[in-house]
Amino acid sequence: MSKTQTKMELVETTESTEFKKTRMKEVRAMVSTALRQNRRIDLMDFTGTDIPRVMVALQDEVMDARNRHAKATKHISSSKQMVNIILPVVEGVMELQGMHIEKLESEMEIQNEHLQEAHEDCITLSEQVEALTKTVEVLR
């Protein structure tokens, strides 16, 4: 990238206040667009009283970028703090839930054993009922 050399010279101006405001808005828009499009501002054709306006617009863009960066940094910092506060609580809850799940699994195994025993008892009772009904039929 070559550096352009610009001479700063004071230019007598008799611009109206309204023209100055309007022109400053136009220059700000052009500078903002050029920055978004990643174009070099020093290669743009600004002359006379527009040069200080460009400098002011660039300073404003830098300050806006600094403010956005500061806000983002604060947001990231506060998010990290919240995560550091919440994470141990979440880990504790997950551990408790894991222990509760293990307890429920062991209780379920015990209930399954009881169910198996009841099923086996039901089968033996059913066999006994069949045997008794056969005996009753034989005795009749």
pLDDT tens-digit readout, 47-81: 888 899 999 999 999 999 999 999 999 999 999 99
69-98 core/surface letters (b: 16 or more CB in 10 A; e: else)? eeeeeeeeeeeeeeeeeeeeeeeeeeeeee
The whole-number pLDDT of residue 4 equals: 60
Structure-block tokens of residue 73: 């940094």
- CA-wise closest residue to 58 among 38, 25, 35: 35
Res 44: pLDDT: 87
Other Cβ atoms closer than 10 A to 31: 22
Contact 27, 46 (CB under 8 A): yes
**Residue 128 domain-assigned (yes or no):** no
pLDDT digits (tens, 9 = 90+) for 88-133: 999 999 999 999 999 999 999 999 999 999 999 999 999 999 999 9
Please indicate, yes or no, if residue 74 is contained in any of the structural domains.
yes
Supply the range of the domain harboring residue 81: 17-115
Task: Please report whether residue 131 resides in a domain.
Answer: no
Backbone Cα Rg of the chain: 42
How high is the pLDDT of residue 32? 93
**Number of domains observed in the structure of the chain:** 1
The pLDDT value recorded for residue 10 is 58
Position 21 in a domain: yes
Residue 61 included in any domain: yes
